[in-house]
Amino acid sequence: MKIRLLLFLVGLAISFALPTFAQQKDVVDPEARQQIEVALMKFDEAFNKHDASAIAALYTPYAIQVGNWSDSDDTVSGQQAIEKTYAAEFASSPVEFAGKLVQVYAIGNQMSAISEWSIGLFKGYIVRICVRDADTWKIRLEYIQVHG
């Protein structure tokens, strides 16, 4: 009986302690968050200047962009293809982009950045997986969710 009670108490203590350790492990360094914010501000600036090559430079060479901005889900692979996509976007509808970083999560040595965005009447969320590239962060994977 005493052993069962002891095991129960140990199990209870572990169940309360594990979430605390998990939260500490995934805490994002404030400097890393600031660097992600700077990279995303560069995206906003380049978009509003209609500079497709500056936007493409924010992605890794083999980046993947997935979204639901048309009737069928669209996927774009590679920095050059992403640049062409933005160049075509700017040629057909050069509207202003507004983005706001909502949350950053650490995923090992990568970061997941969740942002809200709007372009004209359209708005949605962007989830980006960013990786370290020398002294900056680059986008490796991006999912764009469009609402309305």
- Does residue 8 lie within any of the structural domains? no
Under 8 Å between Cβ of 146 and 137: no
Residue 24 corresponds to which tokens in the numbers above? Answer: 């500490």
Question: Domain containing 115 — which CATH number?
Answer: 3.10.450.50
Name the residue among 115, 109, 114, 116 with its Cα closest to residue 137. Answer: 109
- Angle at 114 (CA atoms; ends 112, 118), nearest 5 degrees: 150
- Does residue 129 lie within any of the structural domains? yes
- Does residue 23 lie within any of the structural domains? no
Residue 76 corresponds to which tokens in the numbers above? Answer: 């774009």
- Does residue 1 lie within any of the structural domains? no
CA atoms within 13 A on the CB side of 20: 5
Count of domains forming the chain: 1
- Does residue 119 lie within any of the structural domains? yes
- Does residue 41 lie within any of the structural domains? yes
Range of 62's domain? 28-147
R_g of the chain, CA atoms, integer Å: 20
Sequential DSSP letters for 81-93: HHHHHHHHHHHH-
- How do the pLDDT tens digits run along the chain, 148 residues long? 444 443 343 344 455 544 544 444 557 788 888 989 999 999 999 999 999 999 999 999 999 998 876 555 588 899 999 999 889 888 877 678 889 999 999 988 899 999 999 888 889 999 999 999 888 899 999 998 887 6
